[in-house]
Structure 1
């Protein structure tokens, strides 16, 4: 694999580390008194300020896309992105980092289904690659259901026999609610990835779209917060455990993670960008236990393993599909290389005979 082909793979792996860090940052900020809406407003507002100079510098010599198309595109991404962040961060409040990452691994499965519906992916029921992607999708969904409905005993982290019954009674409903919200968030995120692919076909200017996208979400979340939330103390950036997560989420969440994901969607397609989510499972389990002190439950581990198996099934199907396309292109080039001289000779003969 050449360096140019390897770049999207490396970037998407880095994106998964940033995604896990983003979930932990949001959980830390909200556990210190920030609300979901204020956190989203601050992170997107600061993210748009970070993106502004890069957008001006990189696209200064590029002709802007059609204004109406661009406006519709950024408005569509803004609305879907706003729902993704609101539902996602609300789900994270009720769930652990490991469960959150496990459930978000449903995104590749949902993306595959939507990509087929919108004809961004080929579906041939007799093809081995299609079968692998379909089976992988079903397996991933099964793993997410296991991680949501079966919590199981704690296998790592703080746990004691004396508080086991209390923990089950008080947190099982929150666990299921968090899992349910994250399943919805995965579906909306899949729509967001598909919308990115459709919009970027018309407007291939990722950073400009991200700038307006972040501005839209910051304004929308701030407006909703001022209406539904009366406690203005949630807007304070003190203590530092509020400020630091906001800065992290603005830089590595909005300015880096989503922008890189958009670029990979345009370069390699929506399914490629989504199938890297399962790689965050191990990172989330480790960081959630070490940084947040969350217990690691058997249900999360089993669900994660099942989801990762489904992930690699989809990846295998995509790899075989790409190889088939490359082999087909090579055969066409080889065929052209063999037939062109003959055509040229015949033409020359015709000219001589004439």
Structure 2
């Protein structure tokens, strides 16, 4: 492994550890009866406040004027992010951090499906890259159904019993299925967010400003939702418990620090290199879930996760192959243009 790759490698591993810890900390807080919607609001608000000073330190050249249409786009983009967070927290509450981390590997496949629906991507069935992406998408979605619908026997039992909070109105198996579909909904919304984000950043390429306003708008949107959903005013009271730890962890480690690590790693090694680390999220989440929550690891989760990861790498391989072909075509075109003789038009007069 070259010296240029070691630092991004360590950075991405740290980012995955932070994200795994995020899911476990969220589940631990909810197991201690800390309201999930209140947790979202406080975490987003603290992240917004942490990012505010950095915004003022930016040079004016990196803070172009925000138009009304850009603010509207950022508001809609934030709505995708807010919905995704709510879906993710509900999914983790009903199922487990392990299932939630497995479902995140669906994002490339769902993004490809949406790109096809919005005609952002052409399908040429004769190309191996397209075939790999289609096959990888089908495999990933099939793996997701395996994780959700087949729990199976536990293949690893934690030393302590699970502290999972289960509403009395639902059976544990129904909770698992329902939580799985909420996690799929989170991945689907995240795919919409990625596509929409690309368009917003292209028109307004100030990354720090867009992130700040997304956090700000998401805080407002989730606050409105939480005020409607949470009737008990005592749920908003902060104490020295796992809820407070989860808020600080989410704001500092899972949002701010993880974002910086991922951005820096993408800058150093490229997006494809960094995307390959997503599947190891499952490994870290299983270990942390067993150590800190007493979660068991089930056969269905193992089989489904393996299938999803195979599909994930299929989609990413197809994408990498496609980008490589595009680069080769561009180089050939440039070479042809440089070597082409100058054409003289006999009818042009000076």
> 2:156 — aligned with what?
156
Q: Within 5 A, what are the aligned runs for 1:252-331?
A: 252-257=253-258, 277-331=278-332
State the alpha-carbon separation in 1 of the partners of residues 55 and 10 from structure 2: 23
Structure 2 length as normaliser, TM-score? 0.84
Mapped contact 2:5–2:269 kept (Cα < 8 A) = no
Deviates most, 48-57 or 218-227: 218-227
Q: Within 5 A, what are the aligned runs for 1:1-354?
A: 14-158=14-158, 170-257=171-258, 277-336=278-337, 338-339=339-340, 343=342
Which string of whole-angstrom CA distances, capped at 9 and with x for unpartnered residues, describes residues 73-122 of structure 1? Answer: 21111211111111110111011111111122221111111123334444
Q: What is the number of equivalent residue pairs in this alignment?
A: 336
The structure-2 alpha-carbon separation of the partners of 1:196 and 1:256, relative to structure 1 and needing over 3 Å to count, comes to farther
State the alpha-carbon separation in 2 of the partners of residues 81 and 153 from structure 1: 35
Mapped contact 1:101–1:284 kept (Cα < 8 A) = yes
Deviates most, 86-95 or 26-35: 26-35
Deviates most, 60-69 or 211-220: 60-69
Shift of 1:2: 9.3
State the alpha-carbon separation in 1 of the partners of residues 319 and 7 from structure 2: 17
Three-state SS of the structure 1 residue aligned to 2:126 is coil
Shift of 1:135: 0.4
Three-state SS of the structure 2 residue aligned to 1:291 is helix
State the alpha-carbon separation in 1 of the partners of residues 101 and 285 from structure 2: 6
Three-state SS of the structure 2 residue aligned to 1:158 is coil
Mapped contact 2:158–2:291 kept (Cα < 8 A) = no
The structure whose residues are more often helix, as a share, is 1
Shift of 1:272: 8.8
Structure 1 length as normaliser, TM-score? 0.83
The structure-2 alpha-carbon separation of the partners of 1:236 and 1:63, relative to structure 1 and needing over 3 Å to count, comes to closer
State the alpha-carbon separation in 1 of the partners of residues 72 and 220 from structure 2: 17
The structure-2 alpha-carbon separation of the partners of 1:263 and 1:200, relative to structure 1 and needing over 3 Å to count, comes to farther
The structure-2 alpha-carbon separation of the partners of 1:308 and 1:136, relative to structure 1 and needing over 3 Å to count, comes to same
The structure-2 alpha-carbon separation of the partners of 1:66 and 1:19, relative to structure 1 and needing over 3 Å to count, comes to same
Structure 1 gaps, min length 5 = 161-168, 348-354
Three-state SS of the structure 1 residue aligned to 2:57 is helix
Structure 2 gaps, min length 5 = 161-169, 345-350
Cα root mean square deviation, aligned: 3.4
Three-state SS of the structure 2 residue aligned to 1:106 is helix
Mapped contact 1:65–1:203 kept (Cα < 8 A) = no
The structure-2 alpha-carbon separation of the partners of 1:81 and 1:120, relative to structure 1 and needing over 3 Å to count, comes to same
Three-state SS of the structure 2 residue aligned to 1:155 is strand
Mapped contact 2:41–2:223 kept (Cα < 8 A) = yes
Mapped contact 2:272–2:320 kept (Cα < 8 A) = no
